[in-house]
Structure 1
Amino acid sequence: MAPYEALYGWKCKSPIGWFDVGETKLLGPELVQQVVEKVKLIQERLLTAQSRQKSYSDNRRRDMKFAVGDWVFQNVSPMKGIMRFGKKELEAVHLVFHVSMLHKCLGDPSRITPIEDIQVTEDLSYEEVPVTILDRQDHKFQTKEVASVKVLWWNNNVEEMTWEAEEDMKARYPHLLQSSGLH
């Protein structure tokens, strides 16, 4: 399939079909000249569209400069909303990523956790402890409904709240759902 056909869904007309009825009787250099003019017009319009798209993109783009030793955050969330990586967060992060996924971090030395206090296994996973279930809600998708629970987690002197799939939490921490009273 030609790129034009893939993009627009129909076959590209030959240069003969670019002209009105009656004009197709042109032969030789006149036909070639008109085709060249049409091609130039198309190229100009493509450049205009490309320039417009670039300006839209540039409005949202921000200059980022990083140096060796800079602290950065990497956006590793697979999708916005209720999904999490689970216990093995860093295992699912791809080794190659676009610079737009980095955010500058201004370090606060008072918030640094000593490496000795963090128990990270060889596969870069760590254990989070669920403290309690805070809330429950149903998310409706096109084909199904998924129940979610808001979980308060405790890890390395840090509290964090996330939305988790209720079925997953029932399987891993059944005692938590029974004691919460949210069903």
Structure 2
Amino acid sequence: MLKFARNADKRKRELEFAVGNHVFVKVSPMKDVMRFCKQGKLNPRFIGPFEVLERIGTLAYRVALPPMLAGMHNVFHISMLRKYMLNPSHMLNYEPLQITPNTSYEERPIQILNRK
């Protein structure tokens, strides 16, 4: 056995996701290209969380993607996924927008955080 293979096996992570778990999907940032609504130095490395729909074989998973990512393939290798630890503070409460017939809306502050 090669020296490199011995070292690689020691660091290998055993990952496995169940149907219904939530995962982040790894994206490869490219310089000067807008991907996933971000551009510049702070490109996201992972997007999500997305729900795992099914396991395909031993190393691939089908993930539920939102409609805005419909052009992306929804089956990912396990190396492209990162486990999402559910935290109730990550849940956002939002109210649906009241859009007028001329497709505009009124912005109203929800909470004043600071006054000077």
TM-score per shorter chain, which class? 0.3 to 0.5
Greater fraction of residues in helix: 1
TM-score, with structure 1 as normaliser: 0.29
Larger radius of gyration: 1
Which structure exhibits the higher relative contact order, with contacts defined as CA atoms closer than 8 Å and separated by 6 or more residues? 2
